[in-house]
Amino acid sequence: MKYEKDAAAIIAAVGGEENISSLYHCVTRLRFGLKDNTKADQAALTAIGPVVGVNDAGSQYQVIIGNDVPLVHKAIVAELPRLASSEEGAADASAGTKGGKQKLHTRFFDFISGVFAPILPAIAGAGLLKGVLALINAFGWVDPSSQTFLIFSAIADAVFFFLPIVVAVSAARKLNANPYVAASLGAVLVYPALTTMLSAGEPVALLGVTVTSVSYAYSVIPVLLGVYLMSWAERLFTKIIPSFLKLTFVPMLTLVTVVPITLVALGPLGTFVGNGVAGGINWALDNGGAPAGFVIGALLPLIIMTGMHYALVPFILQNLATLGYDKFLPLTYVQTFATAGAVFGVFLRAKNAQIKALSLSTTFTALMGVTEPALYGLALPLRRPLIASMAGAGVGGAISLGFGVQAYVLAGNGGLPGLPGLVGATFGWAILGIVLAFIVSTVVSAILGIDESILAKASQTVAAHEKPAAAATAASAASTTDAPLAPSSGELIASPMAGELIPLDDVPDKTFSQRLVGDGAAIRPTSGHVTSPVTGEVVTVFPTKHAVAIRSDQGTEVLIHIGIDTVSLQGRGFEAHVAEGDRVTIGDPLIDVDLDAVSATNDTVTVIVITNLGLRSIVPGTPGTRGNGDALMHVLSTIDAEASHKEATA
């Protein structure tokens, strides 16, 4: 087997057979589920022939291969046959729907984040509006009984009142259930006549069984339990009901089975559990005082980096609905400003111009509430700024809990734009905690200093492990990119989608942005119709239909990858019109994608890269909008590139 030795080396480099719990692959990379990611040796992996990069994504350890990933995967499975069984369920496991593929707590956090991450924009937007309205009302700038104020209040509050419906749709998508049937389940819980009957104080019975009087408006846990049960019921009825009856009978039987169980058992249980857990969290926040604030604040940068904070979103929402405030949210503001202070300290101490520029820009983005560039770009690799951010967040957290700071809306932004969410009786203490978090982090970061050689070494490591072809491509591209291109030169690569042409550098996936699998361009699509960019043969249509590879008649291999990490969708929202071996010409339909459905959980930016550049080079098109079939870029051979460059400089 071609990659037999490489497979053995990869297994050893990720920590050995005993460290691998699951493995599957997408179109460019191996996706390992490891028991302990720290046992993987990144340097050893990148030194292995077919490996072009590594990405530690927490619950997933990604080894980037490129075109030959199916062959490398096959070689690894030949070495460890037990991994063949993990291929089918791996993507579902990453979505939290298959037990045993991931640790229980990992699946739980992944499920919660997968449900709430897509709906956070709606909640955050409405929450911020609630904060602004509260601020306006506090200053007496508006009559709270006016019709205008009431309408804007409805805009701000509606998503929270009907939260069971919104959560139901998102949970159904995560569990591969019908989102519209799930929305019907959520709608039942907030149906006005039912809500009135349950709140009237009179006994309510369903088929002789008592229905507990519970208000489900603003609630989260009951509908999550209901949709989870619905996902199993739907699969069961789909299996046993004949195909010609499924369209109507599967939804009907699912609802008439799940809704009563939810009203009688799951709803009250979810309310009880939610109130209990929220009560325990609130007890710790109310009684832990400054010491608890320091510990939680100091750990918060690590908690947010692992995504564990998503597990608290249901209880935060419940606090806001039942108490009118929450004490955990202010700690997230503290963490945000502490991170900004830590990288600002880097700016004060750095001598390298690039590090200074990076630290200043990430300080600004962190102050605006986006901390990922600061955390992953500077704090984590440099380590000392991470320690500084933990120190500042600890001090700010002590102030916050010590003086009982409260947040009154889920603004969805812990930076300057989200400050209206803190407006209230404790706003002054909130600002003090935030300011101290920033100052302490800045001072500690400046005192600790930075080892600028760490980033330099990282750059050298990447360069050292670049494949010769990639290096030749970069050099060739550098010599031709600025040269004007005659329309007849090289091979035209047409745009496969309508949208905005963006450089690969802006793609939020380093496998593509660092050109680990090839050079090219990207489209931020406005239409989901994907057509062939070249005339040639379809080499690969990935089983999940999110990617297709075509070899042109001139030998250029073009990979079209629709969306970021869309392999996890398992084909939902994608419809393929071609198969491997089909002949296509420029403009022929390849795939249709439901952009609205995909964008609910994934970035839809689509990458078009040349995976076998070798002695070829890329001449990108000018920025701007593209339609299907418009010129996207040209691929030149070395001879064409040199001739074009000489002509341009003559």
Catalytic residues: 26, 561
Three-state SS annotation for 45-58 = HHCCCCCCEEEECC
Instruction: Determine how many CB atoms are found less than 10 A away from the CB of residue 49.
Output: 12
Q: What is the DSSP string of 134-173?
A: HHHHHTT-S-TTSHHHHHHHHHHHHHHHTHHHHHHHHHHH
d(CA 563, CA 585) in angstroms, rounded, equals 23
Looking at the chain, the number of H-run helices and the number of E-run strands are 25, 20
**Which two structure tokens, joined as six digits, stand for 584?**
């296509």
d(CA 538, CA 610) in angstroms, rounded, equals 14
Q: Tokens 């408006």 identify what position?
A: 217
> Does residue 320 contact residue 411 with C-beta atoms inside 8 Å?
no
> Does residue 523 contact residue 605 with C-beta atoms inside 8 Å?
yes
Residues belonging to the chain: 650
Sheet containing 589-593, strands listed edge to edge, beginning at the edge strand earlier in sequence: 529-531, 589-593, 574-576
Question: 295: burial class by Cβ within 10 Å (0-12, 13-18, 19+)?
Answer: middle
The Cα angle at residue 205 between residues 203 and 211, in degrees rounded to 5:
80
Please report which residue ranges of 307-328 form alpha helices under DSSP H: 313-322
d(CA 396, CA 329) in angstroms, rounded, equals 13
> Does residue 213 contact residue 199 with C-beta atoms inside 8 Å?
yes
Residue of 624, 611, 497, 475 lying closest to 555 (CA atoms) = 611
Residue 483 gets which letter from DSSP?
Answer: S
Strand partners, 53: 64
d(CA 86, CA 106) in angstroms, rounded, equals 17
Instruction: Determine how many CB atoms are found less than 10 A away from the CB of residue 148.
Output: 9
Please report which residue ranges of 95-103 form alpha helices under DSSP H: none
d(CA 93, CA 81) in angstroms, rounded, equals 19
d(CA 226, CA 435) in angstroms, rounded, equals 43
d(CA 132, CA 128) in angstroms, rounded, equals 6
> Does residue 635 contact residue 491 with C-beta atoms inside 8 Å?
yes
Helix (H) or strand (E) holding 440: helix 427-448
3-state DSSP assignment of residue 300: helix
d(CA 63, CA 56) in angstroms, rounded, equals 9
- Amino acid identity, residue 102? Q
d(CA 310, CA 117) in angstroms, rounded, equals 8
Residue of 116, 97, 119 lying closest to 107 (CA atoms) = 97
**Which two structure tokens, joined as six digits, stand for 47?**
């030194």
